[in-house]
Amino acid sequence: MANAIRALAMDAVEQAKSGHPGLPMGAADIAAVLFGRFLKFDPADPAWPDRDRFVLSAGHGSMLIYAVLHLLGYPAMTIEEIKRFRQLGSITPGHPEHGHTPGIETTTGPLGQGLANAVGMAIAERHLAATFGDGLVNHRTYVLASDGDLMEGISHEAIALAGHLRLAKLTVLFDDNGISIDGPLALADSVDQVARFTAAGWSASRIDGHDPGAIAGAIEAAQHSDRPTLVACRTTIGFGAPSKAGTEKSHGSPLGADEIAGAREKLGWEDAPFAIPADVRALWRQAGLRSQAGRAAWDARVAALEPDARAEFARRRRGDGAQDALAATVRTVKQKLAASPQEVATRRASEIALESLVPALPELVGGSADLTGSNNTRPKGMAVLSAADYSGRFIHYGVREHAMAAAMNGMALHGSVIPFSGTFLVFSDYCRPALRLAALMGQRVIHVMTHDSIGLGEDGPTHQPVEHLAALRAMPNLLVLRPCDAVETIECWQLAIQRQTGPSVLALTRQNLPQLRAGFDADNRCAAGAYELVPADGQAAVSLFASGSEVAVAVEARALLAGRGIAARVISVPCVELFLAAPSERRRAVIGDAPVRVAIEAAVRQGWDAIIGTDGVFVGMSTFGGSAPYKDLYRHFGITAAAVADAASTKLGGK
Ligand SMILES: Cc1ncc(C[n+]2csc(CCOP(=O)(O)OP(=O)(O)O)c2C)c(N)n1
């Protein structure tokens, strides 16, 4: 069975003239034992909620999972797809892509991410088991990780979190082949991984990764451990290749015809390229049917549920069932804000939103990377999710922004939860690789990122984001939401929760802001991305565009301009991406035809020209910030109503 993986991997890579044969050939025995004897899954329904999750963290070894899916009988993974490895339109891209290929649990390739995704999957599993019971939710998460996965810094954060939360149903099978791209691992690494995982609270052992009995024994032991388990499987990269096995030469390029012929001989594999002997195929097909009884029993347990419980479980699976509760909650919060306006920081406004959203939407699972009190992501009464009680809904991620973001991806991929978290906006850089994968995979994760500008004040330029809004807006399929007051904050939360096709960042202030939206508005005005908040008195000479905390500056500047006889309108821009995605007539109507356009944002200009044009006036930052009380900083950097009014007047005078 393992040799079938090896043959398909070397043949597909050879045909594509690119790819990585070494890992699939080296880890084939591990995969054959895991899928052949242990993994719970249903090839006919790759999305069966109670399946075991398998994450190929070392995504470059993609042919391993493609070969396995094919051999197990996943209908979409035909031999034709294997032959079209790495070709346009195939379901066998260079690295595994979730949503593109049935049976792929997460998109991997950037090393370390898959491992941290798996931690999130294992968290979601425990949480949902605590919520719905072991009868509905009781599955394991397996990871195949390489040297590269374990060298990446994110692995440190992820394994520490998993050990702390005692995620006993998480098993990492480490393809311990001692080879990476540059050559022997000894060139760059001398960590004792078993000792490292043990120190992080895992069970850890070393085995011969080519001995099926040892592999099975280790997986069985993992199933009885009260901790997550690392199995360091000593393997030979490119196992079977006569001269390239055990060397970096088999890592990432086709073996070549001679080497493949030699490997066929060495492995005793006589079949033509892409041909699988009937007896081997039969063994794999049997493995593919192994979980049928378990699947049927699970279906029966679901069918036997009380109708309400069954409906709730199904609603959570769909992930779209909260719309009524969401709409009602948002409405109530907005009515309260209309009745008693709040002059609060938007981070506090977000907490006000969460005080209502968290009880109304049980799928929300929050957290913070050790900034809970600053991010305001834990409303009163939200219990902590811990090793002692997985039913809690708030996760203390520790100072681990990267693993937090990647674990959230895993939770969203697992399904039935909507993860949200907190950190400072400046540390979005620490989350970025995971955020990018959330955007690529179209996963709904919600990042509350507070302290969103020089408005945070005294902590100074190390903590003051300047380029981050632009950098985040540059990422496809990510929504950057920067509300200007409490009303926009609840509207932005609504947009983020409703959005099932990708991640959102809520950029929120530390400093208090006036509530600019007076009265009750049933519509979600933020959904337009930008809208006229305050019209001009008469024909507008100036349009003032701003986001977040700078909308109040724009409103004040409008009054100053009015005093000078200049009519100005204020456009709030809570989401540049939504606005730019609107049809051009709607965009033109919001942008208007005032001769002077000004944008105000306490961040760099990049991106704003799409709204104000290259001749527009920008009032914002072009350097790093400084350490001082925030009002002093706004004055120092010239982001004031007076500066805006002066810049607009000057520009108008020059017209
Ligand atoms: C974050 C990240 N950095 C770099 C790479 C490029 N890369 C792909 S595989 C690899 C290392 C290969 O070594 P190992 O992980 O041991 O895999 P093996 O050689 O055993 O297949 C590197 C550096 C990557 N995919 N992700």
Q: Which residues contact 158 (CB under 8 A, 6 or more apart)?
A: 112, 115, 116, 119, 400, 403, 406, 407
Beta bridge mates, 173: 144, 231
pTM, full prediction: 0.98
Q: Strands 596-601, 542-546: parallel, antiparallel or unpaired by DSSP?
A: parallel
Centroid of chain to Cα 347: 22
Q: Find the mean pLDDT for residues 574-586.
A: 98
Distance CA 310, CA 234 (A): 45
What pLDDT is stored for residue 654 in this prediction? 82
* Contact between 207 and 231 (Cβ < 8 Å): yes
Distance CA 136, CA 421 (A): 27
What pLDDT is stored for residue 6 in this prediction? 98
Confidence of residue 132 (pLDDT cuts 50, 70, 90): very high
Quote the mean pLDDT of the chain: 98
Distance CA 183, CA 160 (A): 28
* Contact between 484 and 538 (Cβ < 8 Å): no
Residue 655 has pLDDT above 90, yes or no: no
Q: Is 148 in the pocket of ligand 1 (CB under 6 A)?
A: yes
CA angle 475, 601, 591 (to 5 degrees): 80
Confidence of residue 60 (pLDDT cuts 50, 70, 90): very high
Q: Find the mean pLDDT for residues 427-443.
A: 98
Q: Give just the sign of the alpha carbon dihedral 395, 399, 401, 402.
A: negative
Q: Find the mean pLDDT for residues 620-627.
A: 98
152 CA closest ligand 1 atom index: 1
What pLDDT is stored for residue 565 in this prediction? 97
Distance CA 625, CA 81 (A): 53
113 CA closest ligand 1 atom index: 1
Q: Is 479 in the pocket of ligand 1 (CB under 6 A)?
A: no
Is 401 an annotated catalytic residue? Answer: yes
Q: Find the mean pLDDT for residues 528-547.
A: 98
Distance CA 611, CA 599 (A): 8
Q: Find the 110 Cα to ligand 1 centroid distance in Å.
A: 8
Q: Find the mean pLDDT for residues 354-376.
A: 98
| DSSP code at position 35 | I
Residue 511 has pLDDT above 90, yes or no: yes
Residue 590 has pLDDT above 90, yes or no: yes
Q: Which of 81, 105, 401, 488 is labelled catalytic?
A: 401
Q: Is 43 in the pocket of ligand 1 (CB under 6 A)?
A: no
Tens-digit pLDDT profile for residues 299-328: 999 999 999 999 999 999 999 877 899 999
Tens-digit pLDDT profile for residues 164-215: 999 999 999 999 999 999 999 999 999 999 999 999 999 999 999 999 999 9
- DSSP letters along 330-358, please? HHHHHHHHHHS---EEHHHHHHHHHHHHH
What pLDDT is stored for residue 489 in this prediction? 98
Q: Find the 251 Cα to ligand 1 centroid distance in Å.
A: 9
What pLDDT is stored for residue 320 in this prediction? 85
Beta bridge mates, 381: none
Q: Is 123 in the pocket of ligand 1 (CB under 6 A)?
A: no
What pLDDT is stored for residue 323 in this prediction? 87
Q: Is 437 in the pocket of ligand 1 (CB under 6 A)?
A: no
20 CA closest ligand 1 atom index: 21
Tell me the CA end-to-end span of the chain in Å, nearest whole number: 77
